[in-house]
Amino acid sequence: MDAQKEWIVPSRAEMLPIEFQLSVIVPVFNEASTIRTCIERLLNARLEDMQLIVVDDGSTDTTATELEACLPSSAHLLSHRTNCGKAEAVRTGLAVATGRWVIFQDADLEYDPMDIHRLLQAAEGIEENCAVYGQRPSMWQRPSRWFLASGVLLIDVALWMTYWRWVRDHATCYKLILRSDLEIMNLESTGFEGCLEMTSKLHRLHHKIRRIPISYHPRSASQGKKLTIADGLRIFGSVWRYKKWTPMSSCASQATAAFTERKSTQADSVSKDFVDRRAFTLVELLVTIAIISGLIALLLPAVQYARESARRTQCINQIKQLGLSIHNFHAAHRFVPGNGGATDDSKLISTSGVFVQPFTRELPLRITRYWGVADPKRPIRLQTGPWCYSVMPFIERDAEFRSLPYGQAIPLFLCPSRSRVAPAVPVPDSYGEYESGGHAMGKTDYAANHRVSLDLPRTLSFSSITDGLSQTIVIGEKARDPSVQTATSWHWDEPIWLGGSAGTARLGVGIIPDQVGASYRNNWGSSHSGAANFVFCDGSVNPLSYAIDRDVMVRLILPADGEPVELP
């Protein structure tokens, strides 16, 4: 590769022994339209004690002419006869660099040289064991840059998995690195993988990488962007190449000796010489990834099980509170709260200001069923609203009992495992037509036993439950098909403000798990695994299996059939 270079300045051995604070290396390839502006910006940045090195990497346009016209006499200009790649151009520039710090500047105007001041400020007081990277803003806000952002992120993650050190945006051009460290690295890359090599070797040197936010103005391929998919694949394939690199592989004996002497004074930070360190092979890395993937596969079900267990416990607590509210209601009024029902005067005011009576018109039979409306002014025994409205004063919901906030979802009535969405205005569907007066209304996942909570005007007291309070269901989780009982449907899912419906009371004997195609009509069920939760008239909570015998379920539903049964 050296045979392809033609240096226009003296060799390193012949250079004057001048030390700069900063050497700026500018690799250039066919950047005639931007190189003049780039050099002007570098000079206008007024970087003190700066050595400017420009490497023309075999440009075939008028870049060389532009450089001769804009470069100051103090700058160094190197050139390659043919294009050798960005990393080779960087290596050529390093051969003549004499600055304490070295930074790289692309000639495409994507980076602002004024940001170099910020990187130098961050490097103040740093003697060694550190580099400063300019971190570009996130490109995820720009859909046109998603592909590039994804590729950079993938390589960042691969570097993290290889060295267990996270550096976001390793591919940034602005890398402020000590020249002594770059000499130790003995860079080998020729193309765009030079960024990966520098970052990998900084990790192997156990250097810290500080990241300073910088500005960035990306350009597209049509504007001259030279990075391609093939470059990205080649870079990704080189991630593990430097895992076994050690400073001893450098041919610069003086730099290696300096490194060894420096590291010998750092026993606290480096406990073992690099030569003795064992590196990952690609096979070992793949095995590690497989092990981690297996652990994640084992962990996720456990986490999901723990979350579902917590949700089931919360569901049990909620249905227990509802059972206690039934008892408190009975203690106050001597009967179980009824499920309400429609009357001629039971109407609500629609959003347009007229009185309407809510209904569900079930399709395709077009059977219309009218519902009663919760009314705080009615005598409690003649309440047209359902049991879940009547018990609101006993679950500390007096305000809702009086104000009737139809669109409010009351969490106590919703099973946490079902994750219902916010109430919505019902709309006609293939199952029915619904009249809500334009109101969105909250619903319930718990239904009363329709043999205990009776429709208006009938009521039932505990003394009439001759089979025993501990053997008669009062409230349970109701069956649901998530594709049918949606936020905009009332089909077998009428809200907590309307009485007389099967949305708030059931009398079926099936317990069905939630699923598309579930037999939800009049049945019980839940999204919990194995069983649904029920509270009995004595206040006890028991989960009942989906496989429960139907005859047993019949006896648990009927309050006075004369055939008590032991709970399964």
pLDDT digits (tens, 9 = 90+) for 22-75: 999 999 988 888 888 988 988 888 888 889 999 998 888 888 888 888 888 888
Structure tokens at 404: 């009737």
The predicted model scores a pTM of 0.53
Cis check for the bond before 513: say yes or no (omega within 30 of 0).
Answer: no
Work out the pLDDT band at 159, boundaries 50, 70, 90.
confident
Q: Give the pLDDT of residue 19.
A: 76
Work out the pLDDT band at 269, boundaries 50, 70, 90.
very low
| Spatial separation of the C-alpha atoms in residues 526 and 509, rounded to whole Å | 14
Comparing C-alpha atoms, which of 27, 174, 24 is closest to residue 101?
A: 24
Average pLDDT rounded to a whole number, residues 461-474: 93
**CA quadruple 284, 285, 290, 291: dihedral positive or negative?**
positive
Give 99's strand partners.
20
Lowest-pLDDT choice from 23-37, 239-253, 539-553: 239-253
pLDDT digits (tens, 9 = 90+) for 402-421: 999 999 999 999 999 998 88
Work out the pLDDT band at 232, boundaries 50, 70, 90.
low
Q: Give the pLDDT of residue 203.
A: 83
Comparing C-alpha atoms, which of 351, 553, 526 is closest to residue 471?
A: 553
> Which residues have a Cβ under 8 Å from the Cβ of 73 and sit 6 or more positions away?
none
Per the CB < 8 A criterion, the answer to whether 25 and 103 are in contact is: yes
Work out the pLDDT band at 222, boundaries 50, 70, 90.
low
Q: Is the pLDDT of residue 324 over 90?
A: yes
Work out the pLDDT band at 225, boundaries 50, 70, 90.
low
Work out the pLDDT band at 139, boundaries 50, 70, 90.
low
Q: Is the pLDDT of residue 253 over 50?
A: no
Q: Pick 209 or 435 by higher pLDDT.
A: 435
Q: Is the pLDDT of residue 128 over 90?
A: no
Average pLDDT rounded to a whole number, residues 519-547: 94
Q: Give the pLDDT of residue 149.
A: 66
Q: Which strand (E) or helix (H) includes residue 121?
A: helix 115-123
Q: Is the pLDDT of residue 343 over 90?
A: yes
Token look-up 């050595």 returns 51
Q: Give the pLDDT of residue 85.
A: 83
Q: Is the pLDDT of residue 290 over 80?
A: no
User: Which class for 283: exposed (0-12), middle (13-18), buried (19 or more C-beta within 10 A)?
Assistant: exposed
Q: Give the pLDDT of residue 228.
A: 59
Q: Is the pLDDT of residue 520 over 90?
A: yes
Q: Give the pLDDT of residue 14.
A: 40
Work out the pLDDT band at 227, boundaries 50, 70, 90.
low
DSSP 8-state symbol, 434 = E
Summary mean pLDDT of the chain: 83
Q: Give the pLDDT of residue 181.
A: 87
Q: Give the pLDDT of residue 230.
A: 62
User: Which class for 365: exposed (0-12), middle (13-18), buried (19 or more C-beta within 10 A)?
Assistant: exposed
pLDDT digits (tens, 9 = 90+) for 420-464: 889 999 999 999 999 999 999 999 999 999 999 999 999 999 999
Structure tokens at 51: 């050595």
Average pLDDT rounded to a whole number, residues 79-86: 86
Q: Is the pLDDT of residue 98 over 50?
A: yes
pLDDT digits (tens, 9 = 90+) for 344-383: 999 999 999 999 999 999 988 889 999 999 999 999 999 9
Work out the pLDDT band at 6, boundaries 50, 70, 90.
very low
Q: Is the pLDDT of residue 329 over 90?
A: yes
